[in-house]
Amino acid sequence: MALDRWIALILLGICIAYGYTAWFAMDANLAPFMRRNPIWPSTFPKVLSVLGVAASLIILVGLEKSEEKIGEIDHRRLGDYFIGQAVVLLALMVVYALCLRPLGFLFSTSAFLIIGSFILGERKWHVMIPVAFIATGSVWYLVQEVLGIFLRPLPMFMGV
């Protein structure tokens, strides 16, 4: 079996476990007044699990394959791929998660987007920086003001 199918099989198991938790375990702990709501806290995890299972099954069955063998991953030549970029991006994600509370959402997310796009090869600073700031500000506004979920915008030492 090809590497992509093994990964799809692993993701299928994860999505099934996630879906079981979303469909059965999360709903059992709901407060009585929340059971009458049209959207429950488990709605998004349910949708994600169904989409994950569907995508994994499509890959396992091979429906996404075309007649040509373009883009096939050769696990014997993993050194030819951009493994370094992937590892650095994973490390950057960990640093982002650790810096989110002490440095605030706006600074941490902007820095993550700018550094991440630089790692991926973007060198147009005049495009990269405004896009990162606009995207960060938009997400913060939607989460904070529209959804009403508190998201620390500034560093902890600034008192907000």
Q: What is the residue-wise DSSP string for 132-149?
A: HHHHHHHHHHIIIIIS--
100, 101, 102, 108: which is closest to 132 by C-alpha?
A: 108
Whether residue 98 sits in one domain with residue 48 = no
Whether residue 95 sits in one domain with residue 46 = no
Radius of gyration of the chain (CA): 20
| Tens of pLDDT, residues 81-131 | 778 888 999 999 999 999 988 898 999 999 999 999 999 888 899 999 999
Whether residue 89 sits in one domain with residue 137 = yes
When pLDDT is cut at 50, 70 and 90, the band that residue 36 belongs to is: confident
- Residue 107: the pLDDT is 92
Whether residue 89 sits in one domain with residue 76 = no
When pLDDT is cut at 50, 70 and 90, the band that residue 18 belongs to is: very high
Of 34, 59, 80, which closes a domain? 80
CA–CA separation, 127 vs 46, rounded Å?
Answer: 36
Report which DSSP code applies to 25. Answer: I
- Residue 56: the pLDDT is 93
Mean pLDDT of 134-147: 89
| Burial degree of 108 (CB within 10 A; 0-12, 13-18, 19+) | buried
Residues contacting residue 27 through CB under 8 Å, at least 6 positions apart: 40, 42
Alpha carbons within 13 A on the beta-carbon side of 134: 6
Whether residue 88 sits in one domain with residue 57 = no
Whether residue 46 sits in one domain with residue 68 = yes
Q: How many domains does the chain have?
A: 2
Q: Residue 144 in contact with residue 106, Cβ under 8 Å?
A: no
Two tokens, residue 127: 């495009």
Two tokens, residue 76: 């014997």
Whether residue 146 sits in one domain with residue 109 = yes
Whether residue 76 sits in one domain with residue 125 = no
Of 53, 80, 107, which closes a domain? 80
- Residue 68: the pLDDT is 57
| Tens of pLDDT, residues 39-89 | 777 788 899 999 999 999 998 888 776 655 566 666 677 677 778 888 999
Give the angle 80-82-88 at the CA atoms, nearest 5°: 145
Of 39, 63, 80, which closes a domain? 80
Whether residue 113 sits in one domain with residue 53 = no
Amino acid identity for residue 6 in this structure: W
Whether residue 64 sits in one domain with residue 13 = yes
- Residue 130: the pLDDT is 94
Whether residue 74 sits in one domain with residue 13 = yes
Look up the domain containing 67 and give its range.
Answer: 3-80
Whether residue 100 sits in one domain with residue 40 = no
